[in-house]
Amino acid sequence: MSTDTRPRVLILGSSFAGLTTARYIHQTLGDRIHLTVVDPNPYLIFVPNLPMEVFADHDPLVTMHMGTVRFHDKDGTAFVNAEAIEIDLDSKRVTIRPTDRAGSAPELLRYDMLVIATGSRLAYDRIDGFAEHGDAVSSGHYGNKLRRKLFHDYKGGPVAIGSARFHQGLKDKPSWLPEAAAACEGPPLELALTMAHWLEHRGLGDAHKITLFTPAEKIAEDAGDAIVGEFLQMATEMGFGYLNNTQDIKAISADGIEFESGASVEAEIKIVLPDWVPHQFLTGLPISDERGFILTDTHMRNPTHPEVFAVGDAAALTVPKLGSLGHQQAEIVADQIAVQVGLTDEAAARDPYKPAILCFGDMGGHKGFYIHSDTWFGGDTSVFEMGYAPYAMKMAFKEMYFRTGGKPVSWGMPFTEFTMDHGLAHV
């Protein structure tokens, strides 16, 4: 029996959301709580910059791999190399299975406060024909598979880039949060522009070879009408093909993609963003919506189990599924836990969650784009800029993330927004 009487905070997941939350909790509460983080992987792969590495012919498992345990260790946080397999909300225990050695026996971990930051399954396994004929950039494995294809096997045929249908949970969805048809459509914009540059650079063609597709009325609808309109005008002038309202991907074959809408596209390379699906162990819980995303208020706290928080892609409020939204939520949760243990009062805690799309995308040729918009959520910020500075910022953010272990300096985000929103992006 442990003699440690400090409140026990347990975080499930140690990627963008979980690692950042752990580091802010440590910064805010120090050793006033006992903090444990559980993840089957003792590392994260820096997914946002993975497409750039693929087009540069770098192995992302080498360049985008960041060990996380040393950062937890430095903060005095216990890291458990295991996957959560069950949550018992009544007894406040999580069943975990260690993953560092096959055959390990399940164990129980007790908590007073639980933070769920397990992200989502990217459900390529639900797309017929994906394993044989599909391409992706969301993991080291898929990134390397596409890299080999591009640099060794590609015959110069047409390219299709887009998303499968996202199935958002609608239970208790607040009215300010729209329903999204695609989970995350910054990457398709970025991939299309980078691919066009890659084709030109290698003398294989240009944007005319590429078709962008979306299950929605408009691609990247969460960026807001003004930005999408500007992007589509530029894409049309560059020669991209565009298919909207595809509804979902029905099947991928060697020759192309068939959509639920009845449309189809011919393609040798088919880069797909799939449905974001909650992990099985979270479905059917009283804290989850009908799909398995964790329900929270805007302090990222579950209304019926206020000792449970959710951060990042696992949270029902995180739509679209963007790492930058999880970052804001991580800071909020650290403050709420400080309130819970009586360290600060509610008045001193950060403002509630107020989403805005903040996205740096690569365009190839050391150029990038910057999107800062909250019009989809009812706000009036709408900034879309292109130039060398957004590319430099995207690279710098990754460097800072690796160096600080997921805890960029406090002025980093506001400084970035301010400088980009006030003209630096043109540089």
What residues make contact with ligand FAD under the rule CB under 6 A? 12-18, 38-41, 44, 47-48, 50-51, 83-84, 117-119, 137-138, 184, 186-187, 279, 281, 312-314, 321-324, 326, 359
**How is residue 67 written in tokens?**
């060990």
Q: CB 183 → ligand FAD: shortest distance, Å?
A: 9
Indicate the residue among 82 and 257 with the shorter CB distance to ligand FAD.
82
Q: In sequence order, which residues have a C-beta less than 8 Å from that of residue 359 and are 6 or more positions away? A: 186, 223, 322, 324, 369, 370, 371, 372
Q: CB 392 → ligand FAD: shortest distance, Å?
A: 15
Q: What is the spatial distance between Cα 81 and Cα 98, in angstroms, rounded to a whole number? A: 6
Q: What is the spatial distance between Cα 193 and Cα 195, in angstroms, rounded to a whole number? A: 6
Q: CB 28 → ligand FAD: shortest distance, Å?
A: 19
Q: CB 172 → ligand FAD: shortest distance, Å?
A: 20
Indicate the residue among 139 and 245 with the shorter CB distance to ligand FAD.
139
What DSSP assignment string belongs to 379-409?
---EEEEEEHHHHHHHHHHHHHHHHHTS---
Indicate the residue among 235 and 325 with the shorter CB distance to ligand FAD.
325
Q: CB 140 → ligand FAD: shortest distance, Å?
A: 12
Indicate the residue among 269 and 322 with the shorter CB distance to ligand FAD.
322
Q: CB 50 → ligand FAD: shortest distance, Å?
A: 6
b (16+ CB within 10 A) / e for 94-110: bbbebbeeeeeeeeebe
Q: CB 272 → ligand FAD: shortest distance, Å?
A: 10
Q: CB 322 → ligand FAD: shortest distance, Å?
A: 4
Indicate the residue among 7 and 119 with the shorter CB distance to ligand FAD.
119
Q: In sequence order, which residues have a C-beta less than 8 Å from that of residue 101 and are 6 or more positions away? A: none
What DSSP assignment string belongs to 156-171?
S--EEEEEPPP----T
In sequence order, the β-bridge partners of residue 161 are 212, 271
Indicate the residue among 236 and 280 with the shorter CB distance to ligand FAD.
280
Q: What is the spatial distance between Cα 120 and Cα 114, in angstroms, rounded to a whole number? A: 17
Residue 346 is given by DSSP the state G
Contact in structure between 116 and 294 (CB atoms under 8 Å): yes
H helix intervals, 248-407 = 323-340, 388-404
How wide is the angle at C-alpha 268 spanned by C-alphas 262 and 272, nearest 5°?
Answer: 65
Indicate the residue among 31 and 107 with the shorter CB distance to ligand FAD.
107
Indicate the residue among 261 and 283 with the shorter CB distance to ligand FAD.
283
